[in-house]
Structure 1
Amino acid sequence: MASLSLRNVSFIAQTPLFRNLNLVIGQGDRLGLVAANGAGKSTLLKCLAGLIEPTEGDIMRSRGLRVALVEQDVPAGLADLSLHDVLLQALPAGERESQEWRVDMVLDEFDTPADLRTLPVQALSGGWQRLALIARAWITEPDLLLLDEPTNHLDLEKLFTLEAWITLAGFTAPIVVASHDRDFLDACTTKTLFLRPEESVSFAHPYRRARALLDAHDEAARTQRDKTLREVKRLRESAQELRNVGLNSGSDAAQIKSAQIRRRADALEQRARVVHRERPGEIRLGNRGTHARVLLGLDNVGVQAPDGRRLFTIPKLEVAQGDRVVVLGRNGAGKSQLVRLLHAAMTRPDGLPGIRTSPSLALGYVDQDMGQLPQTSTAHDFILSRFRLGDQRSRAVLAEAGFPVDRQGLPIARLSPGQKARLGLLALRLSEPNVYLMDEPTNHVDIPGREQLEAEILDAQATCILVSHDRSFVKAVGTRFLLIDRGRLREVDGPEAFYESVAR
């Protein structure tokens, strides 16, 4: 039976990513790997795949174990190959001619349109590139499949396709999935490992049940630590009293007993476990406020594709203060085009026909690729020049948002996707808007960051218009739901019926 075991595995970069990790991955296991951005998920997957060695400990693989790792980016050598050939090249050279039929079989499993199969991978959408890498790994028939953020760039249709493939395909090969998508983890995993620098914690449950158990585990650890530290304080007070008695009375026995109690207190303090705390960096929103009740109004507005095709019409729509509007629709329906249209109407001095904006409207805008960030500027220079905070204050707010000093001077183009997302959300807050227009704001944001963003939107009573494929995020923040369907925009009670229709 295929299996992989970790014994006391640690990986230390500048600081520990994880220590003394003990884990067994066996037949049928579907393990969710959860940690903040930069906390070691990709590093652990590369260790499991044998691409890098851990700093300490042993990784034991059953004889002949075949491991396939699907990384987040398309390798440079595959970009010019067609989708069909990317899969074909994954087969051993001697089997390609006789086994080419397997390429079409795997592409069929993912409902791949015929016209996409001959396109170069670099010409495909980000979602199809992700599925291409997953299909390439699967065609090798691995004994262990490792997936690093497989839902990045996937639209809802492809997300549900991937979920169905993992849960319904009927294969028993173990899978390890690193993901920030909470619904995806719940649907596709049976175990969860929370990766931490000192003590990683695992549970034989999907994410949400495991998260509740983790919270209880951490609360028990905090209670025990507080109890231990109280005992340490009591022992030291006793030791000091005995020392004073010994000094005043000249009793050597009291002095010896005092030293014994101090050593016991020191030993207890050493064993008092530090309780892990997530440090996602500050994601905070502001609300400039306005007395206007209606901030945005649309009357008989048409939304067009870039080539001029009419996508849908909005007969009438008003967005009032405090509304959190979620725009739903299948891929290509025009959600992002609507966001771009509203952005143009809110930023042009003369507006756009059919779209009314309140004079007091102050816009905060985030697009899904963080295209509003100047790629050649550094994070520090961007914040300094855009918001005039001064050098020291600019460095401070960047540090609060999770940017160490050594990252603040890098060109934005060299930042990780997660860091770009945090920078974009920081700029959103500093602009002090009263309307937030957001297209996929949680792209590349880790789970602690997503939860903090949800809380900030609710606490700020923010007025929002947003597009998101993160189902947990949508259900947490949405108060109104607009569905693009059959060439029209109409309001619906919630997202559930739409999600069910896409899944079918």
Structure 2
Amino acid sequence: MTMINLRKLGVTLGAQLFSGLSLAVAPGDRLGLVAANGRGKSTLLRCLAGAAEPGSGDITRSRGLRIGHVEQDIPPRLGHLAFRELVLGALPAEQAQSERWRVEVALDALDVPEALRQRPLGELSGGWQRLAMLARVAVTEPDLLLLDEPTNHLDLGRIGQLENWLGALPRDMAVVVASHDRAFLDAVTNRTLFLRQERSQLFPLPYSRARIALDEIDAADARRHQRDIKAVQQLRRQAAKLNNIGINSGSDLLLSKTRQLRQRAETLEEAAKPAHRERSAGAIRLSHAGTHARALLALDDLPVATPDGTLLFRTGKRWINPGDRIVLLGDNGAGKSCLVRLLQAAIAGREIPGIRATPSLVPGIASQDLAEFPGSETPHRLISRRFDVGDQPARSLLAGAGIAIDRQESPIGALSGGQKARLAMLALRLARPNFYLLDEPTNHLDIEGQEALEAELTAQEASCLLVSHDRSFVRTVGNRFWQIENRRLVEVEGPEAFFARAAAG
């Protein structure tokens, strides 16, 4: 039985997002929805939920279908509600009176501490806010669950908890999830839809295996297009040759054959479809400067503490050398961000006992909240003044990074998360660092951007220390791993044991 059926669906918002999309969602489906930023994932989910209308095509829903939709942004009107009150408000009034226990079951399933259940949503972290919205939808027991970037703001432990929670849902509940988290998609989906402007592709496979199949189709399409274009060129050369002979000889037969060849060439050229090329949201390129220093940073048993002086851990004697791509692993609250802030301060020239930076170190810093970019500043002023480039070069650089001309004079605070992330990558490139300090650099980057950043860091043999909850990114980029455990910083062979422990809770 089909829960929801799409037939030749299309949406245009300024530009065409997707068209001709046909799709059926059945009970038990776990469908991953993949596309670059701004290419229609959230719009498609809203169409499925009935909150938006497509420009063309039809959507048929089964009678009585209950749909739960967890959107990417938290509605501001809900910020004053307490966690428990927010979830209770999703139930009909009569059910809320007689079956309040449903709320407690939903909160228990997500391991919500009792102390948080009375806290207003607006006072909670971004991760808890997302889990609150998930509990609000789950308590209604939907037949179809729509999730828009559900891992945003979640640490590894919470992502693992979410994966386990989704795995424990009733087998006949269908889930459609839009996400840029490749490891998460692999863990929770069994079908993948690559949403495209034309010819979206659906595979009965989780993301990584589906991506291999998609790349093979794209490569075959590219080869077919090259063959078709080559055949068109050959037909036109033959037509030109026959045309000359026909004119010189006065042969009507040859001139007729010439017209036939030209018509065949035109028909083949019209039918030849080029291979899909993703419309880039903006190029990510890095510029890594070399150094002759043997060690970029040295840590001499540095104590890392909270602002009130509580010791979190000591580093022991550690060195960061050219070519090291060190991933910092640790539970939430273990002190990862505290260490990053200390390193950032030392690199900026502040005297911090226990940290020694080589004089030739040139930093490239991207913080998790992009606090280094004032929200009132504009992208154009930031790039032109900070890096001393002219007006037109600044505009060209920004456009190449995915910041359109009409957004370059807008406040940075008004940019989308993806645009801010690409602006940060451009600033890193122009700084020409020889050491990167990266705190959650893939936040807000789509899969295309994540892969581009991975390729740049590895191809440039960049030196960096990074904190990330993106397991695919960590596995690809890291070549050394430091883990905070038992109040010490220790070097481990790889991240997998930590990932497994975090997922198990």
SS for the counterpart of 1:60 is strand
Post-superposition Cα deviations, 1:357-393, rounded to whole Å, max 9, x if no partner, equal 1000111101111111121111112111111111111
CA distance in 2, matches of 1:466, 1:490: 16
CA distance in 2, matches of 1:250, 1:50: 67
Which residue number in structure 1 is paired with residue 161 of structure 2? 161
TM-score (norm 2): 0.98
After TM superposition, give the deviation of residue 298 of structure 1 in Å. 1.2
Q: Which amino acid aligns with 1:214?
A: L
Give the share of equivalent positions with the same residue, in percent. 54
Which residue number in structure 1 is paired with residue 477 of structure 2? 477
Post-superposition Cα deviations, 1:150-204, rounded to whole Å, max 9, x if no partner, equal 0010001100000001113344211111111110000000000111111111100
Matches within 5 A, 1:33-182: 33-182=33-182
Q: Which amino acid aligns with 1:326?
A: V
Q: Is the 8 A contact 2:314 2:487 kept in 1?
A: yes
Q: Which amino acid aligns with 1:65?
A: L
Q: Is the 8 A contact 1:70 1:133 kept in 2?
A: yes
Q: Is the 8 A contact 1:2 1:65 kept in 2?
A: no
Q: Which amino acid aligns with 1:315?
A: G
Which residue number in structure 1 is paired with residue 284 of structure 2? 283
CA distance in 2, matches of 1:50, 1:245: 64
Q: Which amino acid aligns with 2:155?
A: D
Which residue number in structure 1 is paired with residue 335 of structure 2? 334
Matches within 5 A, 1:83-482: 83-278=83-278, 279-348=280-349, 350-482=350-482
Post-superposition Cα deviations, 1:240-273, rounded to whole Å, max 9, x if no partner, equal 2222222222223322322222122111111111
Q: Which amino acid aligns with 2:305?
A: Q
1:7 paired to 2:28: no
Post-superposition Cα deviations, 1:116-145, rounded to whole Å, max 9, x if no partner, equal 111011111111111111111111111111
Q: Which moved more, 1:276-285 or 1:335-344?
A: 276-285
Structure 1: runs of 5 or more not aligned: none
CA distance in 1, matches of 2:503, 2:141: 26
Q: Which moved more, 1:54-63 or 1:239-248?
A: 239-248
SS for the counterpart of 2:137 is helix
Q: Evaluate the alpha carbon distance shift between residue 215 and residue 2 of structure 1 in structure 2; reply closer, same or farther with a 3 A threshold.
A: closer
SS for the counterpart of 2:315 is strand
Q: Which moved more, 1:146-155 or 1:304-313?
A: 304-313
SS for the counterpart of 1:97 is helix
Q: Is the 8 A contact 2:72 2:149 kept in 1?
A: yes
RMSD: 1.2
After TM superposition, give the deviation of residue 12 of structure 1 in Å. 1.3
Post-superposition Cα deviations, 1:383-440, rounded to whole Å, max 9, x if no partner, equal 1111111111111111111222122222111111111111111101111111100110
SS for the counterpart of 1:372 is coil
Structure 2: runs of 5 or more not aligned: none
After TM superposition, give the deviation of residue 70 of structure 1 in Å. 0.8
Post-superposition Cα deviations, 1:268-327, rounded to whole Å, max 9, x if no partner, equal 111111211122421111112111011101112111123332111112111111111111
CA distance in 2, matches of 1:493, 1:450: 24
After TM superposition, give the deviation of residue 3 of structure 1 in Å. 0.8
Q: Which amino acid aligns with 1:366?
A: A
CA distance in 2, matches of 1:432, 1:363: 8
What is the aligned residue count?
503
CA distance in 1, matches of 2:403, 2:256: 50
SS for the counterpart of 2:145 is strand
SS for the counterpart of 1:294 is coil
Q: Which amino acid aligns with 1:341?
A: L
CA distance in 2, matches of 1:410, 1:93: 45
SS for the counterpart of 2:264 is helix
Q: Is the 8 A contact 2:2 2:24 kept in 1?
A: no
After TM superposition, give the deviation of residue 40 of structure 1 in Å. 1.0
CA distance in 2, matches of 1:236, 1:66: 58
Post-superposition Cα deviations, 1:427-458, rounded to whole Å, max 9, x if no partner, equal 01111111100110000111111111111001
SS for the counterpart of 1:16 is strand
Q: Which amino acid aligns with 1:443?
A: N
Q: Is the 8 A contact 1:401 1:422 kept in 2?
A: yes
Q: Is the 8 A contact 1:6 1:58 kept in 2?
A: yes
Q: Which amino acid aligns with 1:497?
A: A
CA distance in 2, matches of 1:271, 1:307: 69
